[in-house]
Amino acid sequence: MNYTYMVRCSDGSLYTGWTNNLEKRIHDHNMGRGARYTKSRLPVTLLYYETYETKEEAMRREYAIKQMTRAQKLALLAEKVQ
């Protein structure tokens, strides 16, 4: 399984990525072995994820989310809660 995910960093910013092992990836972020962006913004908290059959689908969705404004990302998160 492949995942597109969004985390909240300690400074309140949002980071979106993709992985094929969600639990390990979040752990790696929090150990400082994740993306360069998150290294100085630890810890991160998983807020959202979607599952996909293929890596390509997950990567496409990651790109689409990264093109969203912060307001659109927060609306996506709010939809998940409802």
Name the residue ranges covered by the structural domains of the chain: 2-81
Q: pTM of this prediction?
A: 0.93
pLDDT of residue 16: 98
Q: Is the CATH number of domain 2-81 3.40.1440.10?
A: yes
- Residues facing residue 4 across a β-bridge: 18, 50
pLDDT of residue 51: 97
pLDDT of residue 1: 96
Mean pLDDT per 10-residue run, the chain (82 residues)? 98 98 97 93 97 98 98 94 63
pLDDT of residue 82: 57
pLDDT of residue 80: 82
Q: What CA–CA distance (Å, rounded) separates 72 from 44?
A: 20
pLDDT of residue 34: 85
